């Protein structure tokens, strides 16, 4: 089968022929239809320090997909050939304290599909059935393909009550963009998003936030003065940029009693004014992955009740032209990029 592989310990990816994956008794063989390029895949493409310490050279990358079940392991229940599925890319151990208490998201033995081993940027993927998620027919292919990042957004945004709350999103990458839609759907009052990238801020307007802040031209504080912010700042701040400057700004911008939820991958050490955190009684929460499968059902049910994240998908390429997709992502002038394995 054809697969997109990190073939050498250097930047870039190659299209290679690989044997069809073998499945175990508890696995599904999934024929891949569509995949999406994640920020994680960009790290793997660039082969930065994190990537070179994480992905074994020779691995197929990719973890965001939609496919159809082609073969079912003999011990699998609840799936059959022809089922349309996406899946959770975090493979959990099943035997630790967290797995045994229904908190797979906290499993310390988690391995990532396409991150610690072979992934889904290929014609076929073998996946444990306990990681597969059946997609209702009404969810369009492209949206079904991005359930993993949408799940990150939902996990982050719904960490705290948003009803009637003022929400600041720092970072207008695909995750931040979808967060506008999720926050509004969840009942937020003002939703403000900030970034430096004019393309992404323009794209953000399609999600109709209360305000879009170009940090090159204005500050969030100045823009917030013109809004009817209810309190001394934003009730809930969603950090989705990974920028230390963004995190530092949240000390000032977060309201008394406010919440800061961090999904963006910051450097290991990044400053924040701890006096503001303490005296304003700010709660800070880090987010990793998705609650399996609570987050998946929350995302599905919001889509079924009108959530629209479709403007985040800006480009589709045939999978064999994956380089164009990666170039588009690397340019910064894109939302989500889909690779289609059916054309
Ligand atoms: Zn991802
Ligand atoms: Zn575990």
Q: Which ligand is nearest to the CA of 292?
A: 2
Q: What is the pLDDT of residues 198-228, one digit of tens each?
A: 999 999 999 999 999 999 999 999 999 999 8
CATH code assigned at 250: 3.40.50.720
CATH number at residue 142: 3.90.180.10
Distance 286 CA to ligand 1 centre (A): 17
Q: How far is the CA of 130 from the centre of ligand 2 (A)?
A: 13
- Which one of the listed residues 43, 90, 155, 185 is annotated catalytic? 43
Does the model's pTM come out above 0.85? Answer: yes
Number of domains in the chain: 2
Alpha-carbon gap, residue 34 to 85, rounded angstroms:
11
Q: Taking residues 175-190, what's their average pLDDT?
A: 98
Looking at the structure, tell me whether residues 11 and 84 fall in a common domain: yes
Q: Tell whether 152 is covered by a domain.
A: no
CA of 108 to the centre of ligand 2 (A): 6
Q: What is the structure's pLDDT at 231? A: 75
Which residues form the domain of 252? Answer: 159-286
Residue 343: per-residue pLDDT: 86
43 is catalytic: yes
Residue 294 lies in a domain: no
Average pLDDT over the chain, rounded to whole?
Answer: 97
Ligand nearest to the CA of 151: 1
40 carries an active-site annotation? yes
Distance CA 236, CA 265 (A): 18
Distance (Å, whole) CA 189 – CA 185: 10
Mark whether 111 and 166 lie in a shared domain.
Answer: no
The verdict on 139 and 167 lying in the same domain is no
**Structural domain contains residue 75:** yes
Whose atoms come closest to the Cα of 121: which ligand?
1
**20 & 91 share domain:** yes
Q: Are residues 15 and 96 in the same domain?
A: yes
Give pLDDT, residue 304.
98
Ligand 1 geometric centre to CA of 13 (Å): 17
Does 223 reside within a domain? yes
70 and 98 housed in the same domain = yes
Helices 147-157 and 294-304, interaxial angle, to 10°? Answer: 100
Cα torsion angle, 191, 141, 112, 72, sign:
positive
């Amino acid at each position: 089968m054809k697969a997109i592989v990190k073939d050498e310990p250097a930047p870039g990816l190659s299209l290679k022929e690989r044997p069809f994956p073998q499945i175990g008794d508890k696995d599904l063989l999934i024929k891949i239809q569509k995949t999406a390029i994640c920020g994680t895949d960009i790290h793997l493409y660039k082969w930065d320090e994190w990537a070179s310490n994480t992905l074994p050279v020779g691995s197929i990358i990719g973890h965001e997909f939609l496919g159809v079940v082609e073969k079912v392991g003999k011990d699998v229940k609840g799936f059959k050939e022809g089922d349309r599925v996406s899946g959770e890319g975090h493979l959990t151990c099943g035997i630790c304290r967290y797995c045994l208490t229904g908190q797979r998201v906290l499993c310390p033995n988690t391995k990532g599909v396409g991150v610690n081993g072979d992934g889904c940027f290929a014609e076929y993927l073998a996946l444990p059935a306990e990681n597969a998620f059946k997609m209702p027919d009404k969810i369009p292919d492209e949206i079904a393909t991005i359930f993993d990042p949408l799940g990150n957004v939902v996990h982050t945004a719904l960490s705290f009550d948003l009803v009637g709350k003022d929400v600041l999103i720092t970072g207008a990458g695909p995750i931040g963009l979808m967060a506008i839609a999720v926050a509004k759907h969840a009942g937020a009052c003002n939703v403000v998003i900030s970034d430096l990238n004019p393309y992404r801020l323009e794209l953000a307007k399609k999600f109709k936030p209360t305000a879009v802040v170009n940090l090159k031209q204005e500050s969030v504080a100045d823009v917030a003065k013109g809004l009817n912010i209810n309190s001394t700042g934003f009730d809930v701040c969603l950090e989705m940029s990974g920028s230390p400057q963004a995190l530092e700004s949240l000390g000032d911008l977060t309201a008394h009693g406010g919440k800061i939820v961090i999904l963006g991958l910051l450097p290991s050490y990044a400053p924040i004014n701890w006096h503001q955190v303490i005296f304003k009684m700010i709660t800070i929460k880090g987010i990793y992955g998705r609650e399996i499968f609570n987050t998946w059902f929350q995302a599905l049910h919001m889509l079924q009740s009108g959530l629209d994240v479709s403007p985040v998908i800006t480009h589709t390429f045939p999978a064999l032209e994956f380089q164009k997709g990666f170039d588009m992502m690397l340019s910064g002038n894109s939302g989500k990029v889909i690779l289609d394995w059916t054309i």
